[in-house]
Structure 1
Amino acid sequence: MATFPLPFKPTLSYSAGGRRFGANRDGGKRKHAACDLIAPKGTEIYAVEKGKVTYGPYLFYRGTYAIEFRLDSGKVVRYCEIEKVASGVSVGSTLEEGALIAYVGKMYVDSMLHFELYAGTGSGPLTVRANPPYQRRADLLNPSDYLDSCALRTTTP
């Protein structure tokens, strides 16, 4: 079973409202490509499964960053709207499930983890502006069920 990426399940559901995968953005011109997990700035973010850092950290949105992982299961995860990565985390790092990877960032008002999940069958950049309605690679998945199945982290890896 995978590990939930935060130390708690958010009070506000990541499967409802504007936080949910598929929610309208820009007046319906595009769709939300992730689940937003509301959490205080600085909250620890954990590896959901064992995997390797493939890209990042890089500037993502409104002063926050993103980092990409290829999981040993083959899936790809992009952890977004982070403040910074944990010490020692860089491209090529292999991290065990439950390992500390980053900290939640804050935009103007909100702080959250924007969690994107991909089947891992595609190639190239994850953001593809010319691929509506999500503007993401074609192997993008709805992460809601995956997150629902994750267990809270109970021990240090």
Structure 2
Amino acid sequence: MNRWLQKHSRLRSAGILGAFFVCLCFVAIGTAQATEPGPVISIVVDGRGVDSDVLPLKQNGRMLVPIRVIGEATGAQVTYDATNRRVAFNQKGEHVSLDINSRLAYVNGKRVTLETAPIIVNKRTLVPLRFVSEALGYQVEWDALASVAHVQTKPVEDRAVSVPEAGNPYVVQQKDTLGAIALRHGTTMSAIKQNNYLSGDQLTVGQILFLPHAAKKAEHPLSSKVGDQRLLGKGYSFPFDDASWYEPYGDSFGSDREWTESNSGSVRRHEGIDIMAPKGTPVYSVSDGTINRVGWNTYGGWRVNITDKNGQFRMYYAHLSAYAPGLRIGGEVKAGQLIGFVGDTGYGGTGTVGMFAPHLHFGLYRNDNGRAVDPYDYLRFWEQKKVVSLFA
């Protein structure tokens, strides 16, 4: 990204949403980080990845998480009575107390029995995730494919919507009008506007319109514009889910980029599409495939490359803040699998952050010759097939 973006890009303030969190893959504390390609996040709270300096722990089939993260991520008041070795949580009139190494706990004064007792590991107090979060009124879902726990503290309000009928995409041509398109395809202006959530009649050349179900087959279909129709198949999805917020994006493929590793002042060509989104926004694999690169890259920061299952294309996800647990070279992923989180890493040595506003850089490359392909039209098509949030 150019430094212009750093100065002028404005992301919507996501705020710090109250919540509780967590979970990680099934490994002992302290051993996972040594095998991971970079920072790992196993906690998503209200749609944002939450970092923790102490790994959660699985014990007796239940996940235990550090109380510090609970307090910071949820806004709950957390107290610890060292004399009685008791942890207490207070939030919105709910009171939960637990004793270290005891399966007895109290919710608003009512005694309950835990399946797993709180424990102290490496001077950190860990408590059961599901019990505490549900006692405080939160929803908890476990993403087994990604080994990530999701906690939702309030209803998802700004869920993105996809067009009702996305199977007949039309590419707007020179001199096209909404009325003319409707007439030629045996439909109405209002039906096209309703299907595409258009508030006005103005069109731009190259715009994709999804024609209603009853319309004739598009005279200028998207398949005639893009280079490979296979990427328009059912096995691909958008890299953000339907509950994630991101800025409207344009086609930045081929634009100039001034930063180079040599700092020579030369200008290079941008080989992808930048989608601005809050740091920690979950990123999903566009397709089934195999990881062929993962780890730090001077330009892309924490990044992952995935070759699609047909071996035709490589998808490049860059500037991540962290990965989902367990990513490794040669590992298999599924379309719609959570693989990482939006960040602002890159443009320097390992760990460099803050050179630009947080965003996902998505690149698409032919696997046979390594040539970059403009992914813009594919993304617009995949945008109608977002991953469904666990709290739908």
TM-score by length of 2: 0.33
Instruction: Tell me by how many angstroms 1:11 deviates.
Output: 2.5
Gaps of 5+ in 1: 123-136
The match for 1:86 is 324
Note if 1:5 corresponds to 2:239: yes
Counterpart of 1:116, as a letter, is G
Q: Is the 8 A contact 1:57 1:90 kept in 2?
A: no
Q: Is the 8 A contact 1:117 1:143 kept in 2?
A: yes
Q: 1:57 aligns with which of 295, 298, 323?
A: 295
The match for 2:135 is none
Q: SS at the partner of 1:80?
A: strand
- CA gap 1:72/1:90 in 2 versus in 1, 3 angstroms: same
Q: SS at the partner of 2:377?
A: helix
Choose between structure 1 and 2 for higher RCO, CA contacts under 8 A separated by at least 6 residues: 1
The match for 2:104 is none
Aligned residue pair count: 136
Q: 2:364 aligns with which of 94, 103, 117?
A: 117
How far apart are the structure 2 equivalents of 1:40 and 1:10? Answer: 7
Q: 1:46 aligns with which of 280, 284, 287?
A: 284
Give the structure with the higher percent strand.
1
Give the structure with the higher percent helix.
2
Q: 2:304 aligns with which of 34, 44, 67?
A: 67
Q: Give deviations 1:38-61, integer Å, cap 9, x for gaps.
A: 111111000101001111122343
How far apart are the structure 2 equivalents of 1:59 and 1:111? Answer: 16
The percent identity for this pair of structures is 26
- CA gap 1:60/1:29 in 2 versus in 1, 3 angstroms: closer
Instruction: Tell me by how many angstroms 1:10 deviates.
Output: 2.9
- CA gap 1:60/1:43 in 2 versus in 1, 3 angstroms: farther
How far apart are the structure 1 equivalents of 2:254 and 2:297? Answer: 23
Q: 2:388 aligns with which of 147, 154, 157?
A: 154
- CA gap 1:76/1:9 in 2 versus in 1, 3 angstroms: farther
Q: SS at the partner of 1:61?
A: coil
Q: SS at the partner of 2:343?
A: strand
Q: Is the 8 A contact 2:246 2:278 kept in 1?
A: no
How far apart are the structure 2 equivalents of 1:77 and 1:86? Answer: 17
Q: SS at the partner of 1:103?
A: strand
Instruction: Tell me by how many angstroms 1:13 deviates.
Output: 1.4
How far apart are the structure 2 equivalents of 1:14 and 1:100? Answer: 24
Q: SS at the partner of 2:330?
A: coil
Counterpart of 1:51, as a letter, is G
Q: Is the 8 A contact 1:47 1:99 kept in 2?
A: yes
Instruction: Tell me by how many angstroms 1:84 deviates.
Output: 1.4
Counterpart of 1:12, as a letter, is P
